[in-house]
Structure 1
């Protein structure tokens, strides 16, 4: 039988929620320090100051813990920035900046989550909703902008959202990461030129 990757239960009481949060915080620390292979549930339980039995009341295995950390990462994204009155390059910069900042918290842990977390249906559904939300935000920004010259807006939206997300993740989580401001500058230039509206201002 395949291993479960979903949490066993969602705590209803404050004390139980705090314990669950402590386990997740401990897991992030253990995975970052030891790596995923050596980041055992025993180490996570010790770091969280709970018994292994207590840990298993919340998560069936470390795959479920890693998947939950990735879900939290997706949920923690900030709301769309206010781009009212901004030029298109300025608005694109704010959107790109949000993505870059979202990846600065712990790039090593993020790389581990994305590359090793089991892709449960819940996780796949949330990633899909995340991508659609980003595309909708971008559509709202681009609609009515005469400087945008695209023949296939729907495909372009998906290309931009996916490219910015994957490039940011890959380069900031690399062993020799690109400095965040330089990455932001290059992404803004890339997206604005792709849209057909020239260089960043």
Structure 2
């Protein structure tokens, strides 16, 4: 069972629910898939019975964390796209801000995010949520990348391919860097790769 047993509606229950998820992120980040519901309950300061009121197992917790991660990322990218429509920044500024945003979204609890990527149950709900985030960018970016002068369908394809390539790079950036300086250097390299993917075969004089 990958879904929570119930979704809390009262404020007190919601607080407990959120505390469990926050503790789970810390425990998964520290202990990986070896984390147990007992350890998560202990870290949250709740009884194991209270945890089981909401989550039948740790995979249900991973699933809920993954949904929250995608929801937060969607809200952040939606806000960024709206700013781009209002301010019309350069292509390099757009790509830089989006890549840096993706890195920030995955840097806290990086090991826990790796677990979400690899072990969260691939339910239809989670698949739909991930595709919705991808579609947001694939449909939204062509509106703010008008300086490329590309056919919209061609640009949408390039955006989709760039996102697919970037998705793996982001997780490597946050997992394989030991210092903020190294992370910044790898982020800059990811920006460069993304710019190349978006401007391939582009003739500025066209």
Q: Give the shorter-chain TM-score range.
A: 0.7 to 0.9
Give the superposition deviation at 1:146: 3.9
Q: Which residue of 1 aligns with 2:173?
A: 171
Structure 1 unaligned runs (5+)? Answer: none
Written as runs of structure 1 = structure 2, the 5 A alignment for 1:6-45 is 6-37=3-34, 39-45=35-41
Written as runs of structure 1 = structure 2, the 5 A alignment for 1:16-165 is 16-37=13-34, 39-77=35-73, 78=76, 79-80=79-80, 82-83=83-84, 84-142=87-145, 144-146=146-148, 152-165=154-167
Partner Cα distance (1:12, 1:36) in 2:
29
Give the superposition deviation at 1:148: 5.1
Count of aligned residue pairs for this structure pair:
193
Further displaced range: 63-72 or 86-95:
86-95
TM-score of the aligned structures, taking structure 1 as reference length: 0.85
Give the superposition deviation at 1:147: 5.5
Q: CA RMSD in A?
A: 2.3
Contact preservation (8 Å) 1:28, 1:109: yes
Give the superposition deviation at 1:191: 2.0
Structure 2 unaligned runs (5+)? Answer: none
Q: Which residue of 2 aligns with 1:188?
A: 191
Partner Cα distance (1:176, 1:159) in 2:
28
Contact preservation (8 Å) 2:2, 2:121: yes
Partner Cα distance (1:149, 1:183) in 2:
31
Partner Cα distance (1:73, 1:48) in 2:
19
Q: Secondary structure at the match of 1:35?
A: helix
Contact preservation (8 Å) 1:80, 1:137: no
Contact preservation (8 Å) 2:166, 2:190: yes
Q: 1:147 to 1:42 in 2, by over 3 A?
A: same
TM-score of the aligned structures, taking structure 2 as reference length: 0.84
Contact preservation (8 Å) 1:149, 1:195: no
Further displaced range: 167-176 or 28-37:
167-176
Give the superposition deviation at 1:150: 8.8
